[in-house]
Amino acid sequence: MSETIKEINELIINKNIKGKIEFNYNLSKLSWFGVSGDAEVFFVPESVKELSVTLRSLSPNIKRTIIGLGSNILVRDGGLDGIVIKLGKQFSDIDLDDGVIKVGASVPDRVLSRFCCSELISGFEFLFGIPGNIGGAIAMNAGCYGSEIKDIFVSADCIDHFGNSITINASENLFSYRNSSRINNLIVINVLFRVNKNDEAQIRNKMEQINKDRVLTQPQKIRTAGSTFKNPISSLSNKKAWELIEISGSRNIKLKNISLSDKHANFIVNKQFKSANQIEQFGEIIKKRVLEETGISLEWEIKILGNP
């Protein structure tokens, strides 16, 4: 039995931890690729208090990892050491009050988008095209169709990896392209967004157009994890990642039932259950080909976690 598992067992007894705890838990069901390594300890806390107590009680050398809906992660075959935390239904409230909307971190992006439409709140339409949850959207400054989380963000209540409460706000200049500078070592608990009212027809029409475009141009109902590589920010090229992949001649590359989507060159499609590492290897082959043919180095947008 590892030292981490021993500590968690003691916590369950001494701190009366009631949330879900699993040892050597395979994360395949939580990864949209459908294949994954194990979490040494998997924890779904029952409350903010229980999460904070657990983090404060753990030895500081035990690694902490937070995951959301698993829509843009790849966990290597060697799995994740330490404790892997997922926020559940207890963190999924949506409250509208006095010109702001307070959203729990585990609320799916599309659920929030639909809620805002029902309340005639604009600015959240783009979230209808993003397959993740609000905590993850803050962590990566999620965006599409010309909008990003930073455009509507006010503040977020967080807990650091040692159980301390921290509030971050928009004035801290947090966000860059597909990144948030402060969230790497924080767990988002809930988020405040600004509210702007608009006509229901305009909001609904925009959401419908986003969904239509997504269905037409992106793979559906298959094992993929969204955009694989970030669009490069470089003076060397103004082309998007999918264009560079096409130009490099990578479209038809395949590796052990792993390929690029017929609909969108920047989506990896996984049709095997043997190895998450093979997906990473396939992506690295694409990166190498793009660099050789275009001189541009692509950066992973998918978050790659764990031991090889």
> Can you give the pLDDT at residue 98?
80
The values of phi and psi at residue 76, to 5°, are -60, 165
CA distances from 194 to 99, 101, 132, 251 (A): 7, 7, 20, 41
Q: Which CATH architecture has domain 3-86?
A: 2-Layer Sandwich (3.30)
3-state secondary structure of 81: strand
CA 181 from chain centre, in angstroms, equals 15
**Taking Cα atoms as reference points, which of 86, 79, 92, 87 lies closest to residue 28?**
79
Q: Is residue 178 flagged as an active site residue?
A: yes
Task: State pLDDT tens for residues 242-256.
Answer: 999 999 999 999 999
3-state secondary structure of 19: coil
Alpha-carbon torsion angle 48, 141, 300, 76, nearest 10: 10
CA distances from 181 to 75, 134, 218 (A): 22, 16, 29
CB of 206 closer than 8 Å to CB of 189: no
Q: Is residue 214 flagged as an active site residue?
A: no
**Mean pLDDT of all residues in 296-301:** 95
State both tokens at 162: 């040692």
Task: State pLDDT tens for residues 10-21.
Answer: 888 888 899 999
Helix axes 200-217, 109-118, angle to 10 degrees: 150
CA angle 259, 264, 266 (to 5 degrees): 70
The pLDDT mean for the chain works out to: 93
Identified catalytic residue from 227, 248, 250, 261: 227
Instruction: Name the DSSP letter for residue 108.
Output: B
In the chain, ranges of CATH 3.90.78.10 domains: 241-305
Identified catalytic residue from 125, 148, 280, 301: 301
Task: State pLDDT tens for residues 35-61.
Answer: 999 999 999 999 999 999 999 999 999
Task: State pLDDT tens for residues 189-245.
Answer: 999 999 999 999 999 999 999 999 999 999 998 999 999 999 998 756 789 999 999
In the chain, ranges of CATH 3.30.465.10 domains: 92-215
Assigned CATH class of 241-305: alpha beta
- The yes-or-no verdict on residue 103 having pLDDT over 90 is yes
> Can you give the pLDDT at residue 184?
76
In the chain, ranges of CATH 3.30.43.10 domains: 3-86
Cα–Cα dist 203/149, whole Å: 17
Q: Is residue 147 flagged as an active site residue?
A: no
**Mean pLDDT of all residues in 174-188:** 80
Assigned CATH class of 92-215: alpha beta
Identified catalytic residue from 178, 180, 248, 261: 178
